[in-house]
Amino acid sequence: MNGDNNKAFFEQLAGLRNEEDKMEAELMRAGRTTVAHDKTETKIEPTISDALDEFDDAEGHLTIDVYQDGDNIVIESAIAGIESDDLDIAITSESVQIKGSREKKEKIKKNDYLYQECFWGKFSRLIILPQEIDPDRAQASLKNGILKIVLPKVSKSAGRKIKVKLD
């Protein structure tokens, strides 16, 4: 009984008012959808290979750690298999953009893979910094597959108070 109440609640929440809405919701839950074309409906059933094909030309996304170490903001990223010449790092006072490419030396057919979790190809990441840094004093190093970028924070000057003169 309680399950029926929950179902009715979610149907009301989602705005399911008629049988067509209910059928559409069931199809969506089953991973399918319908598309109306001149009063005819076509079922679309995406396959895993279709989904993977969409990502063939996509850029990879770097995972990063960003932390502060005293007067610096530090960015670290695991980018094994990358030479420093294959990296492009652009730094402004407010952001860091890391671009690069990791190329696989040997070609393996897609059908020969049992698992393929490593990303090969172009990658990029834009990091918006939480505070202003001095890009002229930034340093980057690559050691054992770990990229480390050290960004000196801009020191905040102490403000001063002034008196307003009355004329």
List pLDDT tens digits, range 116-134: 887 788 989 999 999 999 9
CB-count burial class (<10 Å; 0-12, 13-18, 19+) for 151: buried
Host domain of residue 24: 2-45
Whether 94 is in a domain gets the answer yes
Quote the CA–CA distance of 135 and 165 in Å, as a whole number.
40
The pLDDT of 53-66, averaged and rounded, is: 71
Quote the CA–CA distance of 75 and 54 in Å, as a whole number.
30
pTM, rounded to two decimals? 0.58
Backbone angles phi, psi at 144, to 5 degrees: 55, 40
Residue 18's pLDDT is 58
Q: What is the token pair recorded at 159? A: 């403000």
Q: Cβ(95)–Cβ(135) under 8 Å?
A: no
65/41 same-domain check = no
12/38 same-domain check = yes
Query: In the beta sheet, which residues pair with residue 44?
Result: 33
97/134 same-domain check = yes
Domain total of the chain: 2
